[in-house]
Amino acid sequence: MITTSVVTGGAGFLGSHLCERLLNEGHAVVCVDNLITGSLENIEHLFGKKNFRFVQYDVTNFVNVPEEVQYVFHFASPASPIDYLKLPIQTLKVGSLGTHKALGFAKAKKARFFLASTSEVYGDPEIHPQVEEYWGNVNPVGPRGVYDEAKRFAEAMTMAYHRFHGVETRIIRIFNTYGERMRIEDGRAIPAFVSQALRGEDVTVFGDGSQTRSVCYVSDLIEGIYRLMMSDYTMPMNIGNPEELSMLDLAKEIVGLTKSKSRIVFKELPQDDPKVRQPDITKAKTILGWEPKVARKDGLARTIEYFRKKLNGFPSSRE
């Protein structure tokens, strides 16, 4: 019997890469997405595969797939500040109602459930690097709270279903990830820096650029996701690249890699923007045998090539 996986948010940046990986592992994949932030362009190369099916649907409603299902990956959510500031109610609904519906579906199917959570549950952290046991420093009523608290609630709901209903669950806390199929107007640092540099525009850095991030290439993240789902570990786990750098250094690196003549300019730091972000991946290393493999220079080169073709109106050879 073929293994069937349902991926909510499967037409998004991460969801589309996950669908691809699952198909390569021999799974039948049902991709569910309402296309608010996802795009059919991300998955159109999968439409000809016999074990792939796309369903346009809002998972804050009752979720139903008629066949037997072994795995449910819940990735549906706006995931960049520009999206969740524009779609605050939808972000809260998919993190709460959507997670509830997806968990209920997994319970009914006796399927293993995987929650895509985020490093944003740590807020503007007072512990550095961030370990899974840290409870976070989140402003629940700030503009970013709609995303941070939606994911914190989703984690709580997932653990409640695990403890009370006995649903097999896995929770990943995803740290900053980049790669092909990010949107040009995504609003996150790497798409913004790359698109501005390729257009020869000023590259915009918020604050003085000293705030740090740790960026992970998408193929490394997908490997961690797959390993975690197939493991026996039920508590939240950080997956990300612990190599930390400042936003100013990242901007300079991208300007150099694109051979752009863009200037770097500075704008006011958004409210509640985290000053540091770095995962402690001890658990991922010891439990999953996972750590990132793709060097930032190589990952950025692939991402820049993807955006270059997008901006020039050509399909990417890596899509």
- For 39-52, the pLDDT digits (tens) are 999 999 999 999 99
pLDDT at position 316, please? 42
pLDDT at position 81, please? 87
Buried b / exposed e over 273-282, threshold 16 CB at 10 Å, is: ebebbbbbbe
Tell me, yes or no, if the pTM score tops 0.85. yes
- Which among 73, 87, 62 has a CA at the least distance from the CA of 117? 73
- For 79-106, the pLDDT digits (tens) are 998 999 899 999 999 999 999 999 999 9
- Averaged pLDDT score across all residues of the chain: 95
Q: Which residues contact 198 (CB under 8 A, 6 or more apart)?
A: 258, 260, 304, 307, 308, 311
Q: Binning pLDDT at 50, 70 and 90, where does residue 199 land?
A: very high
Domains of the chain: 4-182+217-241+277-293 (3.40.50.720)
- For 139-156, the pLDDT digits (tens) are 999 999 999 999 999 999
pLDDT at position 281, please? 98
pLDDT at position 314, please? 56
* Marked catalytic residue, from 71, 84, 122, 147: 147
- For 237-277, the pLDDT digits (tens) are 999 999 999 999 999 999 999 999 999 999 998 888 889 99
Asked whether residue 31 carries a pLDDT value surpassing 90, the answer given is yes
Is residue 161 among the annotated active site residues? Answer: no
